Amino acid sequence: MASGNAIRGSRVGAGPMGEAERGESAPRLRISFWCSNGHETQPSFASDAQIPDTWDCPRCGFPAGQDENNPPDPPRTEPYKTHLAYVRERRSDADGEAILAEALAKLRGEI
């Protein structure tokens, strides 16, 4: 027995296929970008769009430029620093000794 569903196999908003219903697509340009790993990507841009200087490589994530022989350098990543490393950058050993002596004096009740 049929279920009586007249629009079976269709989705909401579906209409006739063809360029006449959707309009004409804008003229496109494919521009090549190369990253420092030698990967090439060719994103598509509208012909009247402003082309960016760099584009992120979809394979490695590095920035890619339009010059194959001179791609942009990969970003420099800083190593992880602990809280103690940041404190040592700001204070000298003598400052640390003075702060430690003051804190110990407070704990002993001398101050």
| Annotated binding-site positions | 35, 39, 57, 60
Distance between CA atoms of residues 4 and 6, nearest Å: 6
Binding residues for Zn(2+): 35, 39, 57, 60
From the list 72, 12, 88, the residue with the least C-alpha distance to 38 is: 72
From the list 63, 87, 83, the residue with the least C-alpha distance to 73 is: 63
Distance between CA atoms of residues 27 and 45, nearest Å: 9
Distances from the Cα of 24 to the Cα of 31, 37, 99, angstroms: 21, 37, 73
The dihedral through the CA atoms of 36, 42, 43, 44 has a sign that is positive
